[in-house]
Amino acid sequence: MLRVMLVDDEPPARRGLRRLLRAHADIEVVAEAGTVLEAQAQTSALHPDAIFLDVELTDGCGFDLVALLLPVPAIVFVTAHDLYAVKAFDVSAVDFLLKPLDAGRLAVTVERLRRHRQDTARAAVPDRERRDDVELDADPKHGDPQQRIHLRIDGKSVIAPLRTVTMLAAEADFTRVFLKGARDYLICRLLRHFEAQLPTPPFVRISRSLILNLDQLERVEWQEAGRCSLSLGGDIGPVTLGRIAARRLRQCIDNRRMISA
Q: Which architecture, in CATH terms, is 128-260?
A: Beta Barrel (2.40)
The pLDDT-based confidence of 111 (bands split at 50, 70, 90) is very high
Mean pLDDT of 51-69: 91
Looking at 3.90.226.10, 1.10.287.3510, 3.40.50.2300, 1.20.90.10, the CATH number of the domain 2-124 comes to 3.40.50.2300
Q: Which carries the bigger pLDDT value, residue 60 or residue 141?
A: 60
pLDDT at 206: 83
Average pLDDT along the chain: 82
Q: What is the pLDDT of residues 129-186, one digit of tens each?
A: 444 455 545 444 444 456 788 887 766 778 888 888 888 888 767 888 888 877 788 8
Global confidence as pTM: 0.53
The pLDDT assigned to 16 comes to 96
Query: Of all residues in the chain, what percent carry a pLDDT higher than 90?
Result: 30
Would you kindly state where each structural domain of the chain is located, as residue ranges?
A: 2-124, 128-260
Q: How far apart are CA 57 and CA 35, in angstroms?
A: 6
Residues 6+ apart with CB under 8 A from 18: 6, 29, 32
Predicted confidence (pLDDT) at residue 125 exceeds the cutoff of 80: no
Q: pLDDT band for position 28 (50/70/90)?
A: very high
